[in-house]
Amino acid sequence: MATIALIWELGSDYGHIGRFLPIAQALRAQGHRPVMILRDISRADELLTPYGLEYLQAPLWLPPVSGLPAALNFTESLFLFGFLSPAGLLSITRAWRQLFALLKPELLIFDHAPTALLAARGLGLPRLITGNSFAVPPQTRPLPIYRWWDAAPAATRLEETESRLLENANKVLRQLDAPLMRQVADLYAAEATLITGVPELDVYGPRPKENYVGAINNTSHGQEPQWPGTRKTRIFAYLKAHYAKFDQVLSALSRTDASVLIFAQGVARQQVQRYQGANLAFSSSPVLMSAARAQCDLAVCHAGGTVDVMLSAGKPLLLLPMQMEQTMTSKRVENAGCGLSYTLEQPPAMLEKLLSKLLTNADFSARATAYAANHQEFTQENALHRLLDCCSQLLQPAQSPG
């Protein structure tokens, strides 16, 4: 039996835990001891304890970083999480190493965990990097720009921030007596890399197909959807109550000629009372996604893991991105013809127009159906099989490349 650490460090919400849950269950079924090291454990007991899974709090960079321009690429985003401060970064990497020393894992699995990856350099432990495409930058120098659909920014800035991060990271690595990096992408050089997605939705652009295993999500947790009313068309919305135009979205959904079911963690009672009606209902608990995707005709979400869940069932999407990763995903979905996105800069009236277009133009449903048919090999069962096979190979005695 091997102790295997599953590490999540950056990103919000619980999609990372949802991805880790089936992986951890499968590893335990093989006789291993999976231990999750998580950014946010506020709901870990609710989500993991029923399955008897262990979890720990991840060491994190907490001080807010201000005064920086909007990040052009992932390198610049890392400055917000300790890579601007060598002294602080050293503290966090030492904490990671102490945690590894206490846990004594024989395999490390990383999902959006750059500081943990830095700490693991030179330890001789096999590393598997996984997660969606945003969390697995490609091996290029500099790392790709985020807004690939806009004019390219000045190359000099990208090289300057690349050099600055390298200098800071290598100061830490020297203190740890660990192998230095020659480019920022070296942070993501590991014994194995498996992207839990498909080439068409890779936010950085398609890579070799063997890099992808398909999405892994927890679709079996939650209650059966209770659809209000009797209207034939069904819309499922997975929303964030803190979304800047949350009220406007609820208002637009309430006026559609459809049965609308909404799950929004933290929605205010007043909002439920204002918008709930004969054909719109709020679920007080997470909804069973395997059932929701099978039963709905359209999904509305913020372009996170719900995108993979819905497209695998051939359902088109209205996307409401809240940050850069979601914006990049929304662009890929639009390029595939499987949905539309709404930006905060657009007027609220545009929401109803987009909903109407998605509900009346059969092309979106047809393309989403075709998308699902073209990706039938990317089942969760196949994804887990490939990932577990990779773990088995990494657990065999071997030399780590450093």
DSSP assignments along 9-51, one per residue: -S-SSSHHHHHHHHHHHHHHHTT-EEEEEES--TTHHHHHGGG
pLDDT of residue 282: 98
- pLDDT tops 50 at residue 386: yes
Mean pLDDT of the chain: 95
pLDDT tier at 153, thresholds 50, 70, 90: confident
- pLDDT tops 60 at residue 400: no
Q: Where are the domains of the chain?
A: 3-215+379-394, 234-374
**Could you tell me which residues are beta bridge partners of residue 57?**
38
User: Residues 6 or more apart from 90 whose CB is under 8 A from it?
Assistant: 171, 172, 175, 176
Full-model pTM: 0.94
Task: Give residue-wise pLDDT tens across range 11-25.
Answer: 887 788 989 999 999
pLDDT tier at 218, thresholds 50, 70, 90: confident
pLDDT of residue 398: 44
Fold of 3-215+379-394: Rossmann fold (3.40.50)
Within 13 Å of residue 207, how many CA atoms lie on the same side as its CB?
22
**SS3 at position 242:** coil
156 with 101: CB under 8 angstroms? no
pLDDT, average across residues 165-190? 98
pLDDT of residue 113: 98
The two domains 3-215+379-394 and 234-374 share their CATH topology (first three levels equal): yes
**SS3 at position 241:** coil
Task: Give residue-wise pLDDT tens across range 16-53.
Answer: 898 999 999 999 999 999 999 999 999 899 889 999 99
pLDDT of residue 397: 73
For domain 234-374, say whether CATH 3.40.50.2000 is its number.
yes
pLDDT of residue 273: 97
Task: Give residue-wise pLDDT tens across range 104-148.
Answer: 999 999 999 999 999 999 999 999 999 999 999 999 999 999 999
Kindly give the pairing relationship between strand 280-282 and strand 298-301: unpaired
Total residues belonging to the chain = 402
pLDDT of residue 87: 97
Q: d(Cα 16, Cα 7) in Å, to the nearest integer?
A: 9
pLDDT of residue 151: 84
Task: Give residue-wise pLDDT tens across range 287-346.
Answer: 999 999 999 999 999 999 999 999 999 999 999 999 999 999 999 999 999 999 999 999
- pLDDT tops 80 at residue 402: no
Give the whole-number percent of the chain exceeding pLDDT 70. Answer: 99
